[in-house]
Amino acid sequence: MATAYVYDPLYLKHDEPTHPENSRRLEQIMQHLRELGLQKRLRSIDARDATAEEVAAVHRPGYIEEIRAASEGSLGWLDMDTYVGPYSYAAALRAAGGLLQAVEAVFQGQAHNAFALVRPPGHHAVASRAMGFCLFNNVAIAARYALRELKLERVLIVDFDLHHGNGTQDAFYAEPTALYFSTHQYPHYPGTGHYQETGRGAGQGYTVDVPLSAGTGDLGYGRVSDEILVPVARRYQPQLILVSAGYDAHWADPLGGMLLSVSGYASMVRTLVALAEELCQGKLILTLEGGYNLEALAASVAATFAVLLGDEQVEDPLGPARHAEQPVDAVIHAVRRVHGLD
Ligand SMILES: [Zn+2]
């Protein structure tokens, strides 16, 4: 069965060319997918606008209105690094709705797995505030939709972006219906994501943060996948795996200090595909978050699609990092201990 993607030209209209999170990111991804002949192997899913109600399942109505009103003027700034322009509200609604369409396509059997190539990204956005280039929290909106509309009881959200997805963590911190698992550079923006953040109340134990030192690379991420993510996922038994797919942990990324390669990203996605096949009939849906070196971003997204399609080989035009990796033994030990995996 097919691997699907979601793309909409409206995603390019939220743009500030001097900002790292600009429309060229997505243009480069699409161009690279065409050049490699990957796009024609994929099923295209049309995006739609998320409804006010769907967005309000995660964000306060006053905040949604604030974004709508801010989009009526010329380009402005919601915080030091998050811009909003004339098309931002429309693009943000369609980004969230695009991911919802991907979820629908997989649950209706039109696709086996899917990757929503959306902008603006979402995982930093909290209930009533934009943060870190993010307006609406696409992955949280999709998880909430899967719980409410599809009546799921357990959604696993894996966030391999360089940064901690504070907004996503917040949205489900006190409930067990979504398990949030994140690897991230720590300490780093936005400052959250210590391994002692494990959830609250009924959500205790359903937030799994893996704070990694700058300099963590393919070997370290691979060990975290095998020694933390796999046992956590098997214990949780998700009915769907959603992924905040950020590619700013690549060694060439200008915003981060991690050492992942394209091949390293591909092996993480391979682990996710295997977990989805084992636990939830392959239901794996990714959504684009960060990634700011255009060549590394496009190559990593292409490698991700190749793995989703079942290809044995992926292309890694940038090659491996040229620095030695930081060890991960201490953090793996700490996370396994607080989550009772030992
Ligand atoms: Zn990021």
Inter-CA distances, 142 with 13, 152, 226, Å:
22, 12, 26
> Each residue's pLDDT tens digit in the chain (342 positions)?
899 999 999 999 999 999 999 999 999 999 999 999 999 999 999 999 999 999 999 999 999 999 999 999 899 999 989 999 999 999 999 999 999 999 999 999 999 999 999 999 999 999 999 999 999 999 999 999 999 999 999 999 999 999 999 999 999 999 999 999 999 999 999 999 999 999 999 999 999 999 999 999 999 999 999 999 999 999 999 999 999 999 999 999 999 999 999 999 999 999 999 999 999 999 999 999 999 999 999 999 999 999 999 999 999 999 999 999 999 999 999 999 999 998
147 touches 139 (CB < 8 A): no
Taking the centre of ligand 1 as the mean of its atom positions, its distance from the CA of residue 177, in whole angstroms, is 24
Taking the centre of ligand 1 as the mean of its atom positions, its distance from the CA of residue 161, in whole angstroms, is 5
Indicate the helix (H) or strand (E) that contains 155: strand 155-159
Catalytic-residue membership of 19:
no
Choosing from 14, 32, 112, 124, the catalytic residue is 124
Taking the centre of ligand 1 as the mean of its atom positions, its distance from the CA of residue 159, in whole angstroms, is 10
Q: What is the spatial distance between Cα 282 and Cα 241, in angstroms, rounded to a whole number? A: 9
Q: What is the spatial distance between Cα 101 and Cα 90, in angstroms, rounded to a whole number? A: 16
155 touches 239 (CB < 8 A): yes
Indicate the helix (H) or strand (E) that contains 93: helix 88-107
Buried b (16+ CB within 10 A) or exposed e, 168-182: bbbbbbeebbbbbbb
Taking the centre of ligand 1 as the mean of its atom positions, its distance from the CA of residue 168, in whole angstroms, is 13
Taking the centre of ligand 1 as the mean of its atom positions, its distance from the CA of residue 1, in whole angstroms, is 31
Instruction: Determine the Cα angle at 169 with ends 153 and 66, to 5°.
Output: 105
Taking the centre of ligand 1 as the mean of its atom positions, its distance from the CA of residue 291, in whole angstroms, is 7
